[in-house]
Amino acid sequence: MMNALSHIRQLDYTVIYARNLPAMRHFYEKVMEFPVINVLSESWIEFGIGSNRLALTVHGRRFKDQPPPAGSLSLQLAFRVPPAEVAKCAELLESRGVEMILPVTDQLFGHRTVFFRDPDGNVLEIYAEI
């Protein structure tokens, strides 16, 4: 017998509570080139990534939590591309001033990966299955 939660089939929406919303919007819109699909206010911006949405907002809007301290890792996002594109993505991002924190590497578990951070310090990964 299936319960109600068994109907969840994918992650549709991710919300990042940004410390620096203008820098984060610039990064995801201009550096990562994700299309803006909705701007509800100056403190809520949505990007389309395939069938998913990535939203940026500010702390304290709906939930009154304080932002995590600077230097505290709280989020990792991974974006899949074809194997030949991992290094090309890294080169393009580096040309836009993004520092790779772990270089392009073929991992023993079958992924080609590269890691970098957004302006808030979240870890981003571009990977391919190899």
* Bridge partners for 16 per DSSP: 56
Q: What is the pTM of this model?
A: 0.88
- Region of 103 please: left (phi>0), alpha (psi -120 to 50) or beta: beta
Residues 97 and 110 in one domain: yes
Distance of CA 87 to the CA centre of its chain: 18
- Alpha-carbon Rg for the chain in angstroms: 16
For residue 71, the 8-state DSSP code is T
We report the CATH number of the domain holding residue 15 as 3.10.180.10
18/62 same-domain check: yes
The verdict on 4 and 54 lying in the same domain is yes
Parent domain of 19: 1-67
Count of domains for the chain: 2
Same domain assignment for residues 50 and 101: no
Over residues 77-130, the pLDDT tens digits come to 999 999 999 999 999 999 999 999 999 999 999 999 999 999 999 999 999 999
The neighbour count for residue 69, using CB atoms within 10 Å, is 8
Per the CB < 8 A criterion, the answer to whether 129 and 82 are in contact is no
pLDDT at 68: 79
